[in-house]
Structures are given as structure tokens and as C-alpha cells.
Amino acid sequence: MPDPKPAPDTARNVAATTLAHQELGGEVRVAGEGSPAEWVRLVDSCDLPTRWGAFRLHGFVDLRNGQEHVALALGDLAGSGPVLARVHSECLTGDAFGSRRCDCGAQLEAAMERIAAEGRGVILYMRQEGRGIGLLNKIRAYHLQDDGADTVQANQALGFAPDLRSYELVAPMLARLGVQAVRLMTNNPRKVDALQAAGVPVAERLPIRVGRNPANQGYLDTKRSKLGHLLDPDAG
């Protein structure tokens, strides 16, 4: 069941451009106030039949800033045993447009396929586009990469750290779905550490090495050498 809706208020009568604004009403919280469990609200859920299986889609809002995140779930998540899981960072270009600059789209598809095959699992689709710098800055970073920078140098040239993502909402989102521990599909050991630090028990890390192609060879090599991803340099 979704969390209770806030009582109707004037937010419904003013120009609310997104559901998040309606849900938020006047209660945008100041960053840092309260705990992560208080920052996130499950707004509603629906069936989502997909190419891979019949998922449930759960929509969350971050009450601090109105940002919307979703979870794609399959099977009994509250049952015993760690849940097959992926914490996927939004990549419009890879996930929706089939970009070959990265491996994101292939990883998302592989995760959905594995979850469907196992009959149980969850993907948290976190709207942290471009490792947290946003879509337009990612386009700027890609432009710099077109001119020779690597993915880390491009972020730095724009004044950003190489990775601005945070995982503090993952624990309360999973808790809200009944997940107590995960088997995490990722090549990024820093993501495992970040989740554990945020209170998510990671029982196992499962590699998800898919989507290597001639156009993302250099990108993946930089992720391995500069960002610590566990990727096989010789993989085809």
C-alpha cells in the first residue's frame, strides 16, 4: 500500500507542474533535517508488464527536493533470503536511446532478465543522471570527451568530482518494499561500500559485465583504471 496521501491542500489549486510538487505541498524539507527514512515517500504502485516479465512499479518521491525515483520489483521481496537487486543510476542516453558510449542500457536489460529468470528481485532506478551531474552537464562532459578528455577528466574540467552520487535513499526505499538484504548486481565495489554504509546489507556482489563494444572500450577502461570498477580488460 502506498504511504498515506497528505491531506488535500492549496497545492492542488496552484500551478503544480509535477506530481511531486502536488505530493509535497508546502512540506519541502531542508536538506539534512530528519533521517533518510523520513525523506522518502512511496507515492503509489502499479503493474508493469515488460518484455522480461510482469513487474510492479513503485514510485517514490524525495521530500527534500521533489526528485522522483522508481523501483521495479518482481516476486515476494519480503520473503526470506537476500533479494537479487540492482541500484541503477539514470542514463537517458544508454537506457532509452541505446547509446553505445556506455554500458548502462545493456546492464539494465541484463538485470531485468536475471530478475525475471529468478522470479524475484528489484531494481532501484535512481534519477542520478550523469553520476549526479545531470543530463545537460553530461552532454557537456560528452562534448569534452569527443575532444579527447576521459570521463573523469571531463567531470573535473566542468568543476565536478568524478562521481557525485549518493545512496542514502536506497535503504529506506528497500525497507519500504520489505527487502532486508541484497545480492547486488554491480561491477562497482564503491557502490557496495556505499550501500553497506547506508545500512543496506549486501550479502553478495554479482558482476554485471555486459554491453562492451568498440565505442565504449576506452570509457570502460577508464572506469576500471580510475574509478575502481571490476571489469575485465580483455573482455570481448
Ligand X SMILES: Nc1nc2c(ncn2[C@@H]2O[C@H](COP(=O)(O)OP(=O)(O)OP(=O)(O)O)[C@@H](O)[C@H]2O)c(=O)[nH]1
Residues labelled catalytic? 163, 165
111 binds Zn ion (CB under 5 A): no
Give CA–CA dist 8/38, Å, rounded.
20
Q: Which of 36, 59, 94, 132 binds Zn ion (CB under 5 A)?
A: 94
> Interacting stretch for ligand X, rule CB under 6 A, among 23-31, 117-125, 133-141, 173-181?
133-141
> 115 or 220, CB closer to Zn ion?
220
111 binds ligand X (CB under 6 A): no
220 binds ligand X (CB under 6 A): no
131 binds ligand X (CB under 6 A): yes
104 binds Zn ion (CB under 5 A): yes
The DSSP letter of residue 125 is E
Give CA–CA dist 193/189, Å, rounded.
6
Establish whether 107 is an annotated binding residue: yes
The DSSP letter of residue 169 is T
Site for ligand X in 26-65 (CB under 6 A): none
Reported as type and span, the H/E element at residue 109 is helix 104-118
- The site partner of 41 among Zn ion, ligand X, none (C-beta below 5 to 8 Å per kind) is none
Binding mask 154-183 for ligand X (x = CB under 6 A): -x----------------------------
Return the closest-CA partner of residue 3 out of 24, 33, 18: 24
Return the closest-CA partner of residue 231 out of 219, 165, 56: 219
- The site partner of 216 among Zn ion, ligand X, none (C-beta below 5 to 8 Å per kind) is none
The DSSP letter of residue 134 is -
**Mapping DSSP to helix (H, G, I), strand (E, B) and coil, where does residue 222 land?**
helix
Residue 210 to residues 106, 176, 178, 201: CA-CA distances in angstroms? 6, 30, 29, 25
Identify each DSSP E strand in 3-82 by its residue range: 40-49, 54-62, 68-74
Beta bridge partners of 126: 89
> Interacting stretch for ligand X, rule CB under 6 A, among 51-59, 67-75, 102-110, 166-174?
102-110
Q: Which residues bind ligand X (CB under 6 A)?
A: 89-91, 102, 104, 107, 128-131, 133, 138, 141, 145, 151, 155, 186-188, 191, 208, 223, 229
